[in-house]
Chain A
C-alpha cells in the first residue's frame, strides 16, 4: 500500500515546528506503524535528510516509550494498544496519515515526535510508592488479599505511563495516570497506611507540573492503550476527599 504522511518536524524544543509531507511506498499491511516509519527513515537517510525522531523501545506495547498522535487520536485508530502495536492493516491504500507528538504544556517537545515526560517521574517520586525498605518484609502469604481486590488493583497497575491520557484530554490533565497509581496502591492492604499522604503529595505535584484540570470527559480512558477504567478517577477523588477531611480533623 502507498500512504501520504504529514509529519510534525521540530528541530529542538526552542525552534518552531511544522508539518512536512512524505510518501510511504510499498508498505505491507503486516508492517507495524513504527516499522513503516523505519522504512520512511531509511529512505530519508539515503536522501541525506534528517530521519524522523520518535521514542520507541520494546515494540510490544508494554514499555510506554512510543506515543504519537495519529489522525487526531492518541496511538491511532485502534482500541487498547500502543502505537507500536498498530499495524498498517488498520489503514487503506492511499490514506493520508497525520502524525504529531503529544501536545501538552507539561510535555515539551524535545525533537519531532519526542516529548519530555519527566513530569510523570516527578509525580511518582512525590508519592507513587509504598514506603518499605528492602528486607524485613513479612511472608508473602501472611496477608491474604481477596482475588477481587487483587484483580482490581491489577487493572489500575497495568498503566504503562505513556502519556496518551494527557494527550487525549482537552485540558491536558494527568488525572488518569495519577489515579491509576493511587487506585492501585489504595486497593491493596499494603498501600493503606500512607494512602492520605500519597494522594495529597501526588496531586500537589501533578498541579505543580502544569497539567490541566479533570472535567470528566473520559477521553483519557477511551484512548488509553491499557484501557485503564474511569473508576480509578472516582477513587482518586474519594481518596483525596478522605485525606482532606482527615487533615481538617487534625487541625
Chain B
C-alpha cells in the first residue's frame, strides 16, 4: 500500500526514522541505540523543564536510571502542571473489550484522525507503547475505573469505533499526573532529582552548537540564574493561550519553546491548533478562561439545535420534530462521536446561521434526557457526576434537568517544536516531549491521546533515545562563566528591565485580550487568506503597541505576577504572527486547520496531498526577518491517504 506521494529532499531535516517494517522500527532502533554504562550515568546531568505528564515521567524515569536530574516548573508545586486538568481518559490498544482493537487500529485511527499530517513511525510507536503506560500507571496506584469483576473498564471517545479509553472518573489527567508526580517526588526524596518550583525558564544556552543549559528567573526573589546540563528536555505543554481565552491554565505559555525557537530550534506546524467542541460558552467581557466539558460526554449526550433560527423557546418546549440533531443527521455512523474538528466546525456552522442557543445565541445543546431515560439518573451520575457538578457551578443550570449549552474553544496545540524520531529538536542536546513537540497528532488530535503521548514520551521513549546522544557526547567542561551563559543571562536581565521601564497605559491583560480577539476571529475555526493577512498586520500593530504602551508595575526583585505575564504575552505576540503565517502558507484544509477556500462540496476539510503532505518547520532568522520554511515530506508506506469520512 505504498502511496503516490514520493519523498523529496528534506534539506536540513532528518527525521531519523529507522528503516525496516513499521512494526519492527522501534524494537530495532532501541537495540541499535548506544547505551550509557550504569556507573557512568550519574556523571551526566539532565535538565527538565515542566513537570506535567511528559516532564514528570521523564524526570522520574531518567533519575531511576541513574542520571542527575534538575526539574523546573513555574507553579508552586510539580503537581499543579496543567496535565492535571485532563478529564476524559487515556487511550491504549489493550483490546480488553474484545471489540477488534489492536496496535495497528490505534495507529490507524490516530493517523486518520490527524488527517494524514503525522509521521507514521512515531504514531505507530505511540500505539505500541500505549499498553505499557496502562501497566505502569496501575503499578503506581492510579485508580482507573473497574468493572464488578475487578478488571479495568473502558469507554469510547471521538474518532474511534472501539472502546479503548481508560479513565478515572472525570479526573484521569489528575490521577495520571499524581502518579507521575509521586514517582518524581520519590526521586526528589532520594536526592537524584533536584526540584525547582516557582522557577521560569527564560532562555536556552547553546555552547558550540549544543544545548548546554538554561537561564531561569526565581519567581520569588527575581534572581536570574544559570543552570548547566548535558541535555535539556522541554516538556512545557501547548500554546493555546495565544488566543487569550482557552481551556488552558492561566499560566500555560509558549515562552520556553519560543526562546528555544529563537535560538535555532525549528517550530513545526504552528497553525495546527485544536478547537474542542464541548466547552462552556463565553458569558461576559470579564471572562478569564473557558472550561471544557469532557468529550466523554458525547458518549451519552446528543447534540442539537432548533430547526428554526433565533428560536426563543426553552429547550423542553421544542418538540422532537423541530429539533435538528445535526451530527447524527450528517454523520450517521459516528454520530455524536465524530472527531473534535468535525464536531467544532458543525457547531460553529449552526451558530453562524443564527441557530445558536442560550441568551447570547452562542452555543448548541448537549442533551442527556434520552440517556437518563435509558440508563437512569444514577448511572449518569456515576459516569459524569463531577462534570455535571462543574457545569452547574459555572452556569447555575442543572444539566440533569436542562440540556448543557456548549461551544468550541481553543484547547490543544498539535504544532510545536520539530523533533526527530528520538524527540530531539534541530539543536543537538535539546529535546521536546509531550504537547510542546509536533510529532504525533498531525492536524487534529483524537480525544484521550494527549495523555498517552505525554507519558509515552516521558516514560518509554526518552529514557532510550537520550542514551544514544549522551554515549557519543564529547564531554567538555562548561561553567556559568562561559561567555554564552553570561550573554544569555545579560539578555534576560535586559528584557526584564525593558518591560519594567516602559510604564505605559495598557495592562498586560488588555493587550493579551486584543491579541486573543484577533487570533480567534481571524486564525480560529475558519481561516481565509484575507483574514490571515489582516491578522498578520494587526498582530504586528499590537506588538508595537505592547512595547510602547505596556504597564508593568513593581520591580524584578519580588514576586511580580504582572512581570511574569508580560514576558509570556510578549512571546505570544511573536508566536501569533507565526501561527497566522503558517496558516496562510498552508493552502489546503486538514484536521483543525480549515481554510474556507479549500473545502469539499459537503463543507468538509479538503486536503491537498500532492502539495502539502509535509511538516512545515519554521526557522527563526532574526526579529525583523521572515522565518524560513523547511519541509519534511511525510512518507506513507502503510496507510492509504483518503478523504476522511465519518459518515
Contacts and interface: CB of A to CB of B under 8 A. Distances in A.
**A and B pair up:** yes
Nearest to B557: A12
Nearest to A130: B141
A202 to B, nearest CB: 11
Interface string A19-41: 00000000110111011101100
A81 B507 contact: no
Nearest to B181: A124
B558 interface: yes
Contacts of A161: 77, 79-80
Nearest to A131: B186
A134 B463 contact: yes
B558 A111 contact: yes
Given A87-B393, A117-B76, A190-B141, A39 B135 contact: no
B624 interface: no
A218 to B, nearest CB: 22
Contacts of B185: 121, 124-125, 128-129
Contacts of B175: 154, 157
A121 B195 contact: yes
Q: Chain B: interface residue count, which band? A: 35 or more
Contacts of B287: 35
Interface string A134-169: 110111110111110010011001101100000000
A62 interface: yes
A194 B623 CA distance: 55
A25 B108 CA distance: 54
Contact of B96 (A63, A138, A141, A157): A141
A47 B406 CA distance: 37
Contact of A154 (B81, B85, B169): B169
B396 A89 contact: yes
Interface stretch (A48-56, A230-238, A240-248): A48-56
Nearest to B252: A57
A36 B178 CA distance: 30
B80 A144 contact: no
B622 interface: no
B150 A146 contact: yes
A59 B169 contact: no
A162 B137 CA distance: 23
B135 A140 contact: yes
A9 to B, nearest CB: 13
Interface string A65-99: 10000000000001011000101010000000000
A208 interface: no
B559 interface: yes
B149 A144 contact: yes
Interface in B389-437: 389-390, 393-394, 396
B141 A158 contact: no
A133 B134 contact: no
Contact of A137 (B135, B168, B396): B135
B333 interface: no
A48 to B, nearest CB: 7
Contact of B145 (A27, A57, A150): A150
A137 B288 contact: no
Contacts of B251: 57
Interface in B53-110: 57, 60-61, 64, 75-82, 84-85, 94, 96
B551 A45 contact: yes
Contacts of A143: 138
Given A42-B507, A135-B459, 6 more contacts: A38-B286, A53-B561, A124-B181, A132-B183, A150-B143, A191-B141
20 contacts: A28-B284, A30-B284, A51-B562, A55-B76, A59-B288, A62-B173, A62-B174, A85-B390, A87-B393, A116-B76, A117-B77, A130-B139, A133-B61, A134-B57, A134-B64, A140-B94, A140-B144, A144-B149, A185-B141, A190-B139
Interface of B: 57, 60-61, 64, 75-82, 84-85, 94, 96, 132, 134-141, 143-152, 168-169, 171, 173-175, 178, 181-183, 185-186, 188-189, 195, 197, 220, 249-251, 283-284, 286-289, 291-292, 389-390, 393-394, 396, 459-460, 463, 507, 509-510, 551, 553-554, 558-559, 561-562
Interface of A: 11-12, 27-28, 30-32, 34-36, 38-39, 42, 45-46, 48-51, 53, 55-65, 78, 80-81, 85, 87, 89, 110-111, 114, 116-118, 120-121, 124-135, 137-141, 143-147, 150, 153-154, 157-158, 160-161, 184-185, 188, 190-191
Give the 10 A-B residue pairs with the shortest CB-CB distance, closest first.
Answer: A144-B150, A125-B189, A137-B139, A129-B182, A137-B135, A134-B61, A140-B138, A57-B249, A154-B143, A129-B186
